[in-house]
Structure 1
Amino acid sequence: MFQRILFPTDFSEPSMKAMESIRDLKAAGTLEVVMVHVIDQKDITMIASGGAGFLGSVPDVETEVQRRLREEIQNSIIDTRRQLEREGLRVHLRTPIGDPGKEIVKAADEENVSLIVIGSHGRSNLRDRLLGTVSEYVVKNAHQPVMVVKR
C-alpha cells in the first residue's frame, strides 16, 4: 500500500523516532524511502554571517563552526541512510535548500510518494504546541497521507 514513502528528517529525537515507524512499514510492504533533509535558508544566512545575523557581512571563507556543522550534517545523513538500507530499504536522498515545510511538500509531489512519515516536532521542539510548525505545514498542505509520529 505504501511502497514509496517520504521521510523528512532534521535528525532530532522526534525525527529519529519517526524512522522507527518506517521499519514497521517495511513489514507492511514499503520498499523505498525518499529521505529529505532540508537545509533551512534562515540557518544558512545565520551560519554564513558567522552568527552576526543580518547585520554582519558574509565572510568569504568557511569558519571552523561552519565546517563542523557541514560535516555533522553529512555524517548524520550517511548514518541515517545506512540504518534504513540495513533494514532492506532502497533509499533516495534529497537535500534541498529553502523553507522546510514547502520543500517537503514539493519533494513529496515530485517523488510521487504514497505516504509522508514525519516527526511531530523538530529541532525547535516547542513543547507547548501540539505539532511543530513544519509538521503542521506538511499536514495542512500535502497531497498525500501524512503519518505524524509523536515524540
Structure 2
Amino acid sequence: MFERILFPTDFSVPSMKVLDYIPVLHEAGTREVVLVHVIDSKEITLIASGGQGFLGTVPDRETEAQRELREEIQHRIVDTRRALERQGVKVTVRTPLGTPGKEIVAAADAEGASLIVIGSHGRSNIRDRLLGTVSEYVIKNARQPVLVIKREVIGGR
C-alpha cells in the first residue's frame, strides 16, 4: 500500500524517531524510502551573515560555513542512508534548498510518494506546541497521507 515513503528529517532526535518505524512499514510493503533533508534558505543566510568583523570578511566566512554545513549534512545523510538500507529498503536522497515545509510537500509530489512519515517536531522543538511548524505545514498541504511520529514526552507533558 505504501511502497514508496518520504522521510523528511533535520537529523534532530525527534525527527530521527521515524527510523524506529521503518521495519514495521517494510513488513507492510514499503520498498523504498525517499530521504529528504531540506537545506533551509533562512539558515544559510544566517550562517553566511555571521562573523562580519570577526575572523575575516563575510565572503570568507560564508564559504567556510557553507562547506562545514555541507560536510556535516553529507555525513548524516550517509549514516541515515546506511541505517535505512540495513533495514532492507531502497533509498533515494534529496537535499533541496528552500523552505522546509514547502520543499517536503514538493518532494513528495515529485517523487510519487505514497506516504510521508515525519517526526512531530524537529530542531525548532517548541515546548508547548502540539506540532512543530514544519510538520503542521506538511499535514495541511500534502496530497499524500501523513504519518506523524510523536516525540518522546518526559514528565507527562
* TM-score, normalised with respect to structure 1: 0.91
Q: Who is 2:73 aligned against?
A: 73
Alignment correspondent of 1:18:
18
**Length, aligned pairs only:** 146
CA deviation profile, 1:105-144 (whole Å, cap 9, x unmatched) = 0000111111000000000111110000000000000000
Contact 1:50–1:59 at 8 Å: present in 2 too? no
Among all aligned residue pairs of Structure 1 and Structure 2, give the percentage whose two residues are the same amino acid: 71
Q: Distance in 2 between matches of 1:21 and 1:29?
A: 13
Quick one: which amino acid aligns to residue 115 of structure 2? L
> Is the Cα contact below 8 Å between 1:7 and 1:19 reproduced in 2?
no
* Secondary structure, aligned partner of 2:59: coil
Checking the alignment, whether the CA contact within 8 Å between 1:118 and 1:148 is kept in structure 2 is yes
Equivalent positions of 1:8-87 (< 5 A) are 8-50=8-50, 58-60=58-60, 62-63=63-64, 65-87=65-87
Shift of 1:67: 3.4
Matched, 1:134 2:134: yes
Shift of 1:50: 2.5
Unaligned runs of 5+ in 2: 152-157
Query: What is aligned with 1:115?
Result: 115
Structure 1: any 5+ residue segments left out of the alignment? none
Paired letter, 2:116 = I
Answer whether contact 1:9 1:35 (CA < 8 A) is retained: yes
Read off the aligned partner of 2:8 and give its amino acid letter.
P
Report deviation, 1:60.
4.5
Label 1:51 to 1:104 Cα distance change in 2 as closer, same or farther (>3 A): farther
TM-score (norm: length of structure 2): 0.88
Letter of the structure 1 residue corresponding to residue 114 of structure 2: S
C-alpha distance in structure 2 between counterparts of 1:5 and 1:91, whole Å: 10
Give, as a single letter, the amino acid of the residue that structure 2 aligns with 1:31: R
RMSD between aligned alpha carbons? 1.5
- 1:72 Cα offset (Å): 1.4
